[in-house]
Amino acid sequence: MDDLKIINGRVVTFQDGPVRGSHMDFPLVLENANIIIDDGYITAIDSDRPAKKTIDARGKLVIPGFIDSHTHLVFAGSREDEFEKRLKGISYQEIAREGGGILSTVRATRNADRNTLIQLAKKRLDFALSWGTTTVEIKSGYGLSTKDELKMLEVIDELKKTSHQTIVPTFLGAHEFPPDRGRDEYMNIILNEMLPEIARRKLARFIDVFCEDGVYTKEESKKILLKGRDFGLFPKIHADELASSGGSEIAEDVGAISCDHLSYPSEEGIDAMKRAGTVAVLLPATTLFLSGKSAPARKFIDEDIPVAIASDFNPGSSPVLAMPLVMSLACLLYRITPREALCAGTINAAYAVREEKRGSIEVGKKADILVCDCENENEIPYWFGFNPVRYVVKDGKVI
Ligand code: NIG
Ligand code: FE
């Protein structure tokens, strides 16, 4: 007998990702559908057969679990003091130049022990789960020394073993330059000290850099990402967040799986992403929180570049974990439809983190499924700030 069935749902899902262009607006919709689950996988759709456990969706919405493909979820401390400064007109960059910003979280994270970081992160993951997030990418980048970057990645590794969600680890040693090292000296530490050790211990799947004016140049970013690739890590880029800094332009050179942020991509950058099949991971909560410029989501869709959305959860630029709210912000800031936002937070996000076995409701896929307390998919971003999630099924288990 199968383990679980979800019956009578309005199942809304995309199939055959990554989904591009006008296809992002047209999910498959199955009314009164049944999903059969066994051993963690979806084994049949719309067949009725006995199962050990049944969830009756009563005609309500059933969608894939959300995939949050860009977070900085492991850190200590908080930065509400900066929030107030920014409300008074001091910019994110000015705060960073004065030693606040990322470096203030680096100080707090260096001072926290493993256990404290694990406990803080677990609480955040549980909260995200209650909002339907079943897969989470987590970056290092608040250590900026070999010892502290490894500590962060070990914490992420522990979360991978002990949390409900699928955890995807990313090495972001190039998040900032540490104040206690010279520029060349730190580049050397990343390339010759951190990377070999991380690869040897298999502590990360992705490598990321903050390619931005005042942080890592295009050339430095390229060097780090190519070396990471030599060590078997897949490249991601924090690209063109605050200015057109060239991040997206190296997408093809390094074979970037995703470019993230993208408020100011150049035409050259968009072409490079298109040629490389790079996913555009857009972060609308960050745009709102920093009063920044919205990424040109419609342009990416028109160019057939797969668009994903993510929370960017972090203490400086986006203290939000709720993916339904991120969907609302994506619709409002980018003028994309609720269906496009759903596509961006599920199947396309799966491709941004190379979890292609997740992100949709299809036979043969992992059973990461949400049963919601609403009638249709458009209600998710419409009920702004409302949590629609009633049941979370992760790897076939009701959480
Ligand atoms: O994605 N842009 C760089 N990194 C983060 C912010 C991190 C922080 O402010 O602590 C981001 O927005
Ligand atoms: Fe980020």
Over the stretch 357-386, which tens digit does the pLDDT of each residue have? 999 999 999 999 999 999 999 999 999 999
As a whole number of angstroms, the distance between CA 328 and CA 382 comes to 7
* pLDDT tens string 260-294: 999 999 999 999 999 999 999 999 999 999 999 99
Question: Are 76 and 215 part of one and the same domain?
Answer: yes
Write down the pLDDT at residue 296.
98
Q: CA 144 to CA 311: how far, in whole Å?
A: 23
Co-location of 347 and 324 in the same domain: yes
Q: Do 294 and 331 contact (CB within 8 A), yes or no? A: no
What is the residue with the minimal CA distance to atom 12 of ligand 1? 317
User: The whole model's pTM is what?
Assistant: 0.98
Residue 20, domain CATH? 2.30.40.10
Residue written as tokens 């924090």? Answer: 238
Give me the CATH number covering residue 164: 3.20.20.140
pLDDT at 169: 99
Expressed as residue numbers, the domain containing 392 is: 2-64+359-398
Pocket test for ligand 1, best of 68, 72, 208 (most atoms within 8 A of CB): 72
| Mean pLDDT for all residues in the chain | 98
265 shares its domain with 306: yes
Same domain, 84 and 127: yes
Let me know whether 147 and 248 are in one domain. Answer: yes
Give the position, in ligand 1's atom list, of the atom nearest the Cα of 105: 10
Check whether residue 259 and residue 170 sit in a common domain. Answer: yes
CA of 313 to the centre of ligand 2 (A): 8
**Token match 């009164």: residue?**
32
Tell me the C-alpha distance between 313 and 339, whole Å: 23
For residue 18, whether the previous peptide bond is cis, meaning omega lies within 30 degrees of 0, is yes
User: Both 135 and 281 in a single domain?
Assistant: yes
- Domains held by the chain: number: 2
Distance 238 CA to ligand 2 centre (A): 6
Which ligand sits closest to the CA of 315? 1
Residue-by-residue DSSP string for 120-177: HHHHHHHHHHHTTEEEEEEE--S--SHHHHHHHHHHHHHHHHHSSSEEEEEEEEETS-
Q: What crossing angle do the helices spanning 323-334 and 338-345 adopt, rounded to 10°?
A: 130
* 182, burial (CB in 10 Å: exposed 0-12, middle 13-18, buried 19+): exposed
pLDDT beneath 70, residues of the chain: none
- Predicted confidence at residue 48, as pLDDT, reads 85
286 CA → ligand 1 middle, Å: 9
Q: Is the CB of 102 under 6 A from ligand 1?
A: yes
370 CA to middle of ligand 1, Å? Answer: 29
Given this model, what pLDDT does residue 247 score? Answer: 98
User: What pLDDT is stored for residue 318 in this prediction?
Assistant: 98
The set of residues, in sequence order, having a beta carbon less than 8 Å from that of 55 and lying 6+ positions away, is 4, 5, 6, 7, 371, 391, 393, 398
Residues 218 and 317 in one domain: yes
